[in-house]
Structures are given as structure tokens and as C-alpha cells.
Amino acid sequence: MPLHAAWENNVSSVIRSIDDGWRRWIAENLLLDAPPPALHGVLIEHGFDAAEAAREIEAALASPYLQGATRLRNRLRKRDWMLSVYGTLSRLRAHSDTVERRERLSRDEFFEQYYFQNRPVIITGAFDFWPARTQWNFDYFRSRCGDCEVEVQFGRESDANYEINQPKLKRMMRFADYVELVERSGSTNDFYMTANNTSHNRAALAALWSDVSTIREYLDAGSPDTGFFWFGPAGTKTPFHHDLTNNFMAQVIGRKHIKLVPLSDTPHMANYLHCYSQVDGSAIDYARFPSMRDAQLIECTLAPGELLFLPIGWWHYVEGLDASVTMTFTNFLQRNDFSRNYDTYHDL
């Protein structure tokens, strides 16, 4: 079992005292089944006295607090085992390594075969009736909402944690100026208008919402949740994460490539904060994250006119292959309020 990251990288030549931060590190690695001699060696490398390091490890092993945490760890391991069984059984299904495509899937089939079973599906022909399917283009955006002030994320390429830090990356600008920027930019992830900007943009771009009426076969027309608007150049990226609701992705303009990992493979996803993974979906580093070899990776490309059902808890990485516009929705006809009892927004 590899050791969890040490608190410091530089070896100190000065004998130091072990503080609570290092005690936490000792306890966490013991719970991860790291052998005590390995922990002892790391502590010595970081400038701690050998005898003191040995006493701290022995004290941790004898602590009733660690013994209580070990029981909790064992319960979590049992849950992980159950998830692994579910995942293995799911993979035994025919074509389990692909996202099925279904033409105008009926309401009953969608909910019974996919929504309730936590399975993704791409539905074609579901929103061909939208005016957006034929009218939306850059010129239409300029003429319809060009003078509206919109919120956009900028500086994403200079911030490795751009998704987590997105509240700090907001900028206001004329929609016509943003459209022109997308049109002439080429491939980049430096700026993107996403669902995180919708609280402002839904009002600013209200004229566009009349072009994307409710898909009544699956969604609740009476819901105040009328969707989220995503618009950016080729090269935009949404890092691996899972949502707290079931979601629809309706691709209106351009294509997006999506990598999916089932909810049952969450233990493999290096999830140390809220709903985010440390795994870079654009180039998965199997040496750094070897457990990803045990995760089922499913890929698909979403084309204009296609509707992707993203089940709750499924990890997904999304990359724009073209300048693209996507609408996403969560107002399903069936229950979708699972975030109400989610409280692990903190470090995991």
C-alpha cells in the first residue's frame, strides 16, 4: 500500500518535534494499511528523531481513537466491496462498455431502463422541435442578445484548479464580444460560459430560453428550473467530477467528447474533495493513479441533436471538440432532489 502524501518534501537536517499534523498523517497511513517500518523511515527522512518517531507510531497503534476509526474504515470497505460487486455484475451486461443510442425513447422506457437503473443513454430525436436546432448560430446570438451583459469564466488555463476556483474567475462582458471571442479563438480552455454562470446568464439571455422549450416526455414543464447554458470554443474542458443530481445534456451546436466512470467505481477515482477527482481526464496518469486501471471507462461523442442522460453519481470528463453550445437540465418528472441530504462538501 503506497503511503499517503507526506506533509513536506524537503528533508531537514534539524531534529524536529512531531506535531498534530504529522500525527494525523501517521494515523491516516496506518488506516491505509501502510506498514509501520515504512512510516518510521519517512519520518526519519523528514528530520524526526528515530526514537520519537517509533514512540508516536506505537502510541497511534495503541490509541482507542485509531481503533474506533479502524472499525469505521472496515464498514466503508464493506460498502466498497458491495459497490464492486454491483459494478462487476453491470459489466456482464451485453455492450456494457458503450453508451446506448435510442431514437425517441418513450417516457416509460427511459425511466424504467435508464433513470431508475442508473444507466446512461443517448437519445436522438428528442428535441428536434426546438427552434434552437435550426436558428442558433453566432449571427443569431449577436442579433438576439448581443448587447446583453453576460458572466464568463476567464483564466482557466493559468489555474490548475479552475473548476474548484471558478467563483474567482468570473468576468462580465457584452454577449456579442464573447461570441466574437469564441468565433476567432481557436482551441482553448482559457474561457468558458458554464452552468456555474447561469444564475446571471439565465436572466441576461432570457430571449434564448424561448428557443429551448421543455422536453415534456421526460422533464417537468412546471418546474422553475429551466436549464443551464454552456457556450465555449473548441478545447473547453470540464474535469472529472460527479453531479449531485441526474442530468440531461442536450447538444445544440458542435460536438463534445465525454469520458464516463460508473458510480460503482467511485473508490478508484482519487476523490479527496467534495465531488472532484484528482485524475486528469485528458491524459489519465495510470502510474500516479493505478486504481484507475480497475475503473470502467466508457467514452462517447455527443453530436448536435443528441441528448445524453448522465446518471447521478457517474463521474464524467467533458471536452469540446468544436465551438459548442449545450443546454443541461435537472427538472425530471421523477424525483431528483438527492442533494438535500448530501453533506460531504469538504475534504474526504
Q: Report the number of distinct structural domains present in the chain.
A: 1
Where residue 348 falls among pLDDT bands split at 50, 70, 90? confident
Three-point CA angle 182, 261, 292, nearest 5°: 105
Domain assignment present for residue 126? The answer is yes
What's residue 11's pLDDT?
43
Domain assignment present for residue 8? The answer is no
What's residue 1's pLDDT?
43
Domain assignment present for residue 36? The answer is no
CATH, residue 133: 2.60.120.650
Look up residue 291 and give its three cell numbers: 486504481
For residue 163, give its domain range: 95-341
Look up residue 11 and give its three cell numbers: 528533508
Residues in the chain: 348
Contact partners, residue 84, CB within 8 Å, separation at least 6: 264, 267
* Model pLDDT for residues 120-153, shown as the tens digit of each residue: 999 999 999 999 999 999 999 999 999 999 999 9
129 vs 236: CA distance, rounded Å = 27
Pairing state between β 237-241 and 315-320: antiparallel
157 vs 176: CA distance, rounded Å = 23
Domain assignment present for residue 65? The answer is no
* Model pLDDT for residues 292-343, shown as the tens digit of each residue: 999 999 999 999 999 999 999 999 999 999 999 999 999 999 999 999 999 9
Domain assignment present for residue 311? The answer is yes
Q: Which of 201, 235, 232 is nearest to 138 (CA)?
A: 232
Domain assignment present for residue 10? The answer is no
Domain assignment present for residue 243? The answer is yes
Domain assignment present for residue 85? The answer is no
Question: What does the DSSP assignment read for 209-256?
Answer: HTTS---TTTB-TT-S---EEEEE-TT-EEEEE--SS-EEEEEEES-E
What's residue 291's pLDDT?
95
* Terminal Cα-to-Cα distance of the chain (whole angstroms): 18
Mean pLDDT score of the chain: 95
